[in-house]
Amino acid sequence: MSVRVAVECLTWRRWSCLRGRQSVMAAASRRECSKLATKQQDKLPKRSTFPPAPSATHDWIGPPNPLSNMRPIVYRVPPNESVLERRLRNMRQETEDWNHQFWSQQNLTFGKEKDAFIVSQLKANGLTERDQQGRRRTLTSEEMSVFYKDFLDKNRQRHINYNKEWYRRNLSITFLMARVALHNLWKRVGRTKRRNTPAT
């Protein structure tokens, strides 16, 4: 064995040993960080279920709702809000509420029907809901695809109506946003003209 090969082998062994130590240290470090994060989480105040009051400067966006999976929004109320701006804010809030209601109901229906389908398929195959270890039994993706297709077919018209209403609301909001932007632009132009007009 040449000196060069011997040095390379020795270097490789040292590097492997060093990598092994590093991985052990990294694992220990991760465990400590996890413990520390858990302790800090315990010290954090519990999240309030009450939405904050509207701000004058920015919107509040909350965590996803467990039913609809949508983030609730509290829209800002600008100082000296015009009638047009209030209409826009109310329309956006109504759309958020409508959206939340639709998806909450849809997700509840989906969950109930999915559970009923799984139970019926397991019974048809002579199986219980749980195995010997107490774990819930599941179906394969091929078996579940039958349910997904059936659910989409049954709710096809409902989704079409939802999409139509969603587009209608978004077009109304976009049109109103354009009106608010033009109104604010005219206000700024008017203020600039008054400032630049010499006093007589």
Residue pLDDT, tens place only, 33-81: 455 445 544 444 444 455 677 777 788 888 999 999 999 888 888 888 8
pLDDT of residue 188 exceeding 70, the answer is yes
Instruction: Give the pair of three-digit tokens for residue 193.
Output: 């003209």
- Label each residue of 1-52 as H, E or C: CCHHHHHHHHHHHHHHHHHHHHHHHHHHHHHHHHHHHHHHHHHCCCCCCCCC
Residue pLDDT, tens place only, 1-10: 444 444 344 4
Question: Identity (one letter) of the amino acid at 188?
Answer: R
The reported pLDDT for the residue numbered 5 is: 42
- Domains of the chain, by residue range, sit at 1-44, 60-196
Contact predicate 91/83, CB 8 Å: no
Instruction: Give the pair of three-digit tokens for residue 175.
Output: 């049109």
The pTM for the full model equals: 0.64
